[in-house]
Structures are given as structure tokens and as C-alpha cells.
């Protein structure tokens, strides 16, 4: 057995201990609080969603991966919108002191605003779009909430570009575009990807809130519906699903991130 | 005779908390075409600032720089710069790093031709087998070889070298000095190098410019090094004149570099240096902390 595999087993072993503790605590809690379903009860209600993950039995009654797919596609759209807006803003902040002095205060004011606060504004903004208003509102909310880490990390990254690299560009008299794409962007990539990873985490947080309020099909909406159906087991099941997907997304992004870190 | 590079009365001041600080003062120097010039001085004396001004990376506060009949107003690929840290872009391979400049200078050449130029210079510095490697996979010495190839591949009017071997171990340094000298002889490039290594300066240059200590650093003395070329280190070490020149340089650096230039060229080398005075001159200006401690000690 090679070294890496055995360390992996070790890590997994410790993690299993943690999960076991969590389930024990859950079982204990469910014996005290009678509205809280026990792990077995949760599994019973969740079973049809897990065993047939892609089934479509009705508008809300669908397999869990199908539901997650809807959520992920909405998140992806909002997320890429966030990156497309956030990265250039980050570059402007990093490049220009004046730009920073003008716009940093307003960014710091908007950044802590909760997705729940943005959502009604988003829907109102696209009110004229009719049926699509909810979707656009959700996208707007995801994008505006998720973009801040990208903006701030990109700005930090641009400021951290070593003067030596810039001097190389100046000595070679690179054009502005070449300077940007051959030197500044590659030099900033590791920071940008840290931002991208944090942004993805936030985008995934926002989707649940957005779906709960807009009623769009997805994991978040499913959670809210099951609450309205007093089907508490599926609330726990949804929470676990959301957590696992968020974890997987974060792992994937940090894999990409570490690749870029090792290059530069 | 018109000179290839003329620095006339260069000044460089920086704004500091206590008003403008003049780092380089009244620096005048003429360099002929094909000459190898070394600027030597204590660290922090402003020699790199002079080089940076010629490179166009630092603005000139007063005075002017004329290179091949044209005033230098900014950075450009007509001056190949070799930086102290090789400054390769870590996300590009050795070849791509050289190509970045080649693409810029030979924009009319085909992709194939540009590649050939880059490969040619990389082969000259001994990196023929490592062109596809990234800087992280190269040793310090190999990186600096790549840096030298990048500068030469631009076919610049002149070379500017900012302590290019300062970060290398001495064996690698010797090797790279030979590489540099070979290339320089092949292309007959005018070169200006900043260093604090006396032997390096003697081995490479035609003239050595000794700079006085900063602030307000300027040309203290100029030493002509007329050993025949091509030079071999062995020959140099057997030549008694080598040691005379070396002694002259070291004497300057140890005893005279703090003197103002007005007296420096004519002043006879002090036979018995007033040791305490020298130490006082060389010491940094007393900071508040230092003054506090000296007061405490004398009490």
C-alpha cells in the first residue's frame, strides 16, 4: 500500500469518527425533541429521492440529483455573471488608486448586505419581464452577492504583482493589452482563483435563499415545500444535500486553485 | 569623438519625510561603442539607480541621457536589461520567456524565425536542453542564463546588467561571467554592469567607475583596465598588474569612497588611514534610537 493511499485512509478514518459523533448526537437530540426526525426516519422519507435520483414524478416531486441540477444550473449562470462583472472591477481597483478611493467605500457598504435583502429588489427590477422576473431576480441576487470576494481578491492580486514583472514588460515595451494578458492576468491568477472559490461558496449559499422565496424548482424550493408539508425529515435531507454539494464544489475549486498556485 | 552613451550631470532625488533626498548627484560619464563598463560601489550607493535611469525604469530628476544620438525618455527594448533576480515569468517556459521579447522586437519575422532566434540564444547560453522547462524547474544559474539570453536576443543597442550574478554561488558566477564575456565579444555590444564584486569588475570590464557613497553619490574615480582580450581568468591572476588594480579598487572602496569627489581624484591614497574618522564617516547617520543609546552609554 503506498504512502498517499494510507494517509488518505487515515484522513477518511478521522472524518468517519466525526460523522459518527454527529449521527449519535442527532439520534440523542431526536429522542428529546419530538418534532426532530431521527436518522432512520429521515432516511425513510428521503429514500425515494435518493434511490431514484433522476426521477421526475411531478413539478416538485423529483429525484434529488435532478433537483440539485436545477439549482446548480441557476447558480452557474449567476456565478459566471458575478465573475464577468467582478474580475474587471477588481482589476480597476487594483490598478488605480483613484478608482479605489472613489469606489471602495460604496463596495464596503454594499458587501455586507444579505441576499434576502437583494432578492426583492432584483425581482422588482425585472418586474416587466413577466414570468422571467423571478429567474432574473434570482440571478441578479446571486451575481451581486457572489461577486465581492472575486472583486476584492483580484484587487489584492493586482496590487501584489511584483514590480520586477512589470519592469520586464516595460523594458520590452509591451502594449497595454499584451501587458494585461501576458503579465498582469497570469500574475494575478492565483489570487483570482481564491476569489473565485469564495464566490462559488457564496453563490451556493444564495441559491437556497433565492429558491425558497421565488419558488423556482430546486433543492432550496424542495426544502421549503417539505417544510410546508410538515415533512421535517426531508428538511434535514435537503440540508445534508446542500452541504455535500457545497463541499464538493469547494474541493473542486481548490484543486484548480492549487494548480495555479503551483505554476507561479 | 562622439560617444555612444552619454550621461550628463544626472541627478536623482526622491521625496522623503525630511524633504527631497538626493541619491545621485552630478553623475557624468561617456561610454564608447563596444565598451564594457562596470560601476562599482558600496551597496545602497545609488549605482542601481543610475542603471535604472539608463534603462528608463526610473525618471531622471535632472540632467540627460543620450544613447546613440537619441535622448532616453523611457524604457524600451533597445536596451537589454539583465536583472539581479532573473525576473523570468514563472508561468512561461524558458523559451517563451525569451520569445516574449523576441516577438516584440522582430514583429515582422515569421513565427518560425522568431523561434529560431530565441532557440539560438538559449543554445548560446547553454540551455539548449532546457528550453521547455519553467523557471521553477531551473537552477538559479540556469535562470540567469535565460535572463542573459533574453537580453541578447533583443539585439539591443546596449546591455544593462544590474548585479546579474549577485545571487549565485561563486562557481556558477565564474561560469556565467565567461558566458557573458563570450556573448559580449561575439556581438560587440556596449555594456554597462553594476556590481560590488571587485574581481568580477576586473575580469569583465574595460573601465571601472567607482562611485562614492550615497546619498549624493557620484563618480569618485575611474580605473582603466587594459588587459588584452580575450581574457582568461588564469592569465589575469598571474599578472602582477591585476593585483595593483585590485588594490586600487579596494583602497577606494574602503578608504576613499566616502570622500567628496572634488578631492578624490587628486587626493593621494592615505598611507595610514585615520581609522576612527573613517568609521565615523562610514557609519550611518545617527538615528534617534542610536542617539538615545550613545547618550545612555556616555552617561
Do A196 and A137 share a structural domain? yes
Task: Write out the DSSP string of B150-205.
Answer: HHHHT--SEEEEESTTTTS-HHHHHHHHHHHHHHHHHHT-EEEEEES-HHHHHHH-
Distance CA B71, CA B66 (A): 4
Beta carbons within 10 angstroms of residue A262's beta carbon: 10
Q: Give domain status of residue B260, yes or no.
A: yes
Pick among A169, A172, A259 to test the B interface (most B CBs inside 10 A): A172
Do A179 and A98 share a structural domain? yes
Percent of chain A predicted with pLDDT > 90: 53
Pick among A165, A170, A171 to test the B interface (most B CBs inside 10 A): A171
pLDDT at B186: 87
CA angle at A208 for the pair A197 and A86, rounded to the nearest 5°: 35
Distance CA B283, CA B294 (A): 14
Across the range A121-138, mean pLDDT stands at: 87
Confidence of residue B42 (pLDDT cuts 50, 70, 90): confident
Mapping DSSP to helix (H, G, I), strand (E, B) and coil, where does residue B288 land?
A: helix
Q: Give domain status of residue B144, yes or no.
A: no
Question: In this complex, how many residue pairs, one in chain A and one in chain B, have their CB atoms less than 8 Å apart?
Answer: 52
Across the range B89-100, mean pLDDT stands at: 93
Structural domain that includes position B67: 5-73+189-298
How many structural domains is chain B composed of? 1
pLDDT at B254: 86
Higher pLDDT, B61 or B273: B61
Distance CA B233, CA A21 (A): 73
Q: Which three cell numbers stand for residue B259?
A: 570622500
How high is the mean pLDDT of chain B?
83
Distance CA B273, CA B257 (A): 13
pLDDT at A110: 94
Across the range B65-79, mean pLDDT stands at: 89
Nearest to B233 by CA among B253, B204, B258, B255: B204
Name every chain A residue with its beta carbon within 8 A of the beta carbon of B79.
171
Distance CA A231, CA B264 (A): 94
Name every chain A residue with its beta carbon within 8 A of the beta carbon of B154.
172
Name every chain B residue with its beta carbon within 8 A of the beta carbon of A189.
91
Q: Give domain status of residue B109, yes or no.
A: no
Do A102 and A3 share a structural domain? no
How high is the mean pLDDT of chain A?
90
Strands B19-31 and B207-211: unpaired
Find the CB nearest B90 among A167, A174, A264: A264
Residue B279 has pLDDT above 70, yes or no: no
Of the ranges A36-45, A116-125, B253-262, which one carries the lowest mean pLDDT score?
B253-262
Do A225 and A162 share a structural domain? yes
Q: B196 touching A, CB under 8 A?
A: no
The residue assigned the cell 574595460 is: B206
**Residues in a beta bridge with B10:** B27
Residue A157 has pLDDT above 50, yes or no: yes
Across the range A117-143, mean pLDDT stands at: 88
Do A70 and A31 share a structural domain? no
Smallest CA–CA distance from A188 into chain B, residue? B91
B89 vs A174: CB contact, 8 Å cut-off?
no
pLDDT at B263: 44
pLDDT at B86: 83
pLDDT at A60: 72
- Please write the tens of the pLDDT for every residue from A177-236: 999 999 999 999 999 999 999 999 999 999 888 888 887 888 888 888 888 888 889 999
pLDDT at B166: 85
Distance CA B32, CA B129 (A): 36
Confidence of residue A262 (pLDDT cuts 50, 70, 90): low
Q: Give domain status of residue B134, yes or no.
A: no
Do A170 and A115 share a structural domain? yes
Residue A169 is part of a domain; what is its CATH number?
1.10.3720.10
Do A51 and A25 share a structural domain? no
Name every chain B residue with its beta carbon within 8 A of the beta carbon of A183.
89
Do A55 and A32 share a structural domain? no
pLDDT at A250: 93
pLDDT at B270: 41
How many structural domains is chain A composed of? 2
Structural domain that includes position A12: 1-36
Q: B5: Cβ–Cβ under 8 A, 6 or more apart, which residues?
A: B29, B30, B31, B54, B65, B66, B67, B68, B158, B190, B192
Do A109 and A20 share a structural domain? no
Do A9 and A91 share a structural domain? no
Smallest CA–CA distance from B155 into chain A, residue? A172
Q: How far is A170 from chain B (nearest CA, A)?
A: 6
A182 vs B79: CB contact, 8 Å cut-off?
no
B77 vs A168: CB contact, 8 Å cut-off?
no
Mapping DSSP to helix (H, G, I), strand (E, B) and coil, where does residue B39 land?
A: strand
Do A134 and A59 share a structural domain? yes
- Please write the tens of the pLDDT for every residue from B227-277: 888 888 888 889 999 999 999 999 888 887 777 655 444 444 444 443 333
Do A98 and A21 share a structural domain? no
Of the ranges B133-137, B163-167, B289-293, which one carries the lowest mean pLDDT score?
B289-293
Residue B240 is part of a domain; what is its CATH number?
3.40.50.300
Task: Write out the DSSP string of B63-86.
Answer: EEEEETTEE--S--TTEEEE-SS-
- Please write the tens of the pLDDT for every residue from A97-113: 999 999 999 999 999 99
Smallest CA–CA distance from B85 into chain A, residue? A164
The residue assigned the cell 556565467 is: B176
Residues 111-150 of A with CB under 8 A from B: none
Distance CA A19, CA A34 (A): 22
B77 vs A183: CB contact, 8 Å cut-off?
no
pLDDT at A48: 85
A168 vs B87: CB contact, 8 Å cut-off?
yes
pTM over 0.90: no
- Please write the tens of the pLDDT for every residue from B138-171: 998 999 999 999 999 999 999 999 999 888 888 8
Amino acid at each position: 500500500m503506498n504512502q498517499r493511499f494510507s494517509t488518505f485512509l487515515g484522513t477518511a478514518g478521522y472524518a468517519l469518527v466525526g460523522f459518527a459523533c454527529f449521527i449519535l448526537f442527532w439520534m440523542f437530540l431526536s429522542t428529546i425533541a419530538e418534532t426532530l426526525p431521527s436518522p432512520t426516519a429521515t432516511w425513510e422519507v428521503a429514500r425515494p429521492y435518493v434511490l431514484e435520483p433522476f426521477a421526475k414524478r411531478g413539478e416538485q416531486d423529483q429525484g434529488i440529483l435532478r433537483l440539485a441540477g436545477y439549482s446548480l444550473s441557476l447558480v452557474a449562470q449567476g456565478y459566471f455573471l458575478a465573475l464577468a462583472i467582478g474580475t474587471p472591477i477588481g482589476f480597476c481597483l487594483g490598478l488605480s488608486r483613484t478608482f479605489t478611493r472613489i469606489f471602495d467605500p460604496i463596495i464596503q457598504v454594499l458587501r455586507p448586505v444579505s441576499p434576502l435583502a437583494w432578492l426583492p429588489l432584483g425581482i422588482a427590477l425585472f418586474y416587466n419581464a413577466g414570468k422571467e422576473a423571478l429567474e432574473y431576480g434570482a440571478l441578479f441576487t446571486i451575481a451581486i452577492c457572489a461577486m465581492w470576494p472575486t472583486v476584492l481578491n483580484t484587487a489584492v492580486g493586482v496590487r501584489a504583482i511584483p514590480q520586477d514583472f512589470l519592469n520586464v514588460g516595460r523594458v520590452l515595451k509591451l502594449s497595454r493589452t499584451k501587458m494585461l494578458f501576458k503579465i498582469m492576468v497570469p500574475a494575478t491568477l492565483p489570487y483570482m482563483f481564491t476569489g473565485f472559490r469564495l464566490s462559488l461558496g457564496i453563490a451556493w449559499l444564495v441559491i437556497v435563499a433565492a429558491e425558497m422565496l421565488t419558488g423556482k424548482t430546486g433543492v432550496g424550493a424542495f426544502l421549503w415545500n417539505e417544510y410546508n408539508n410538515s415533512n421535517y425529515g426531508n428538511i434535514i435531507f435537503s440540508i445534508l444535500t446542500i452541504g455535500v454539494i457545497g463541499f464538493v464544489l469547494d474541493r473542486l475549486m481548490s484543486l484548480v486553485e492549487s494548480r495555479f498556485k503551483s505554476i507561479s | 569623438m562622439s560617444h555612444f552613451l552619454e550621461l550628463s550631470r544626472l541627478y536623482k532625488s526622491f521625496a522623503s519625510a525630511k524633504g527631497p533626498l538626493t541619491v545621485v548627484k552630478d553623475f557624468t560619464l561617456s561610454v564608447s561603442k563596444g565598451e564594457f563598463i562596470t560601476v562599482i560601489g558600496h551597496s545602497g550607493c545609488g549605482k542601481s539607480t543610475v542603471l535604472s535611469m539608463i534603462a528608463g525604469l526610473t525618471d531622471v530628476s535632472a540632467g540627460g541621457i543620450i544613447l546613440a544620438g537619441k535622448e532616453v525618455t523611457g524604457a524600451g527594448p533597445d536596451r537589454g536589461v539583465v536583472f539581479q533576480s532573473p525576473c523570468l515569468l514563472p508561468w512561461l517556459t524558458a523559451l517563451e520567456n525569451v520569445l516574449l521579447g523576441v516577438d516584440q522586437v522582430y514583429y515582422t519575422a515569421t513565427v518560425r524565425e522568431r523561434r529560431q532566434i530565441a532557440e539560438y540564444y538559449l543554445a548560446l547560453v547553454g540551455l539548449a536542453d532546457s528550453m521547455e522547462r519553467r523557471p521553477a524547474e531551473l537552477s538559479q544559474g540556469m535562470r540567469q542564463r535565460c535572463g542573459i539570453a533574453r537580453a541578447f536576443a533583443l539585439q539591443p543597442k546596449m546591455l544593462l546588467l544590474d548585479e546579474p550574478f549577485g545571487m549565485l554561488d561563486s562557481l556558477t558566477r565564474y561560469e556565467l561571467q565567461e558566458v557573458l564575456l563570450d556573448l559580449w565579444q561575439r556581438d560587440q555590444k556596449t555594456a554597462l554592469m553594476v556590481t560590488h564584486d571587485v574581481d568580477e569588475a576586473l575580469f569583465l570590464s574595460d573601465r571601472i567607475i567607482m562611485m562614492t557613497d550615497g546619498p549624493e553619490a557620484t563618480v569618485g574615480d575611474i580605473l582603466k583596465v587594459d588587459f588584452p582580450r580575450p581574457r582568461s581568468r588564469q592569465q589575469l591572476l598571474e599578472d602582477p598588474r591585476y593585483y595593483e588594480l585590485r588594490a586600487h579598487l579596494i583602497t577606494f572602496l574602503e578608504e576613499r569612497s566616502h570622500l567628496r569627489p572634488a578631492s578624490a581624484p587628486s587626493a593621494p591614497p592615505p598611507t595610514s588611514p585615520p581609522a576612527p574618522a573613517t568609521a565615523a564617516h562610514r557609519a550611518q547617520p545617527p538615528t534617534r534610537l542610536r542617539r538615545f543609546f550613545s547618550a545612555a552609554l556616555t552617561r
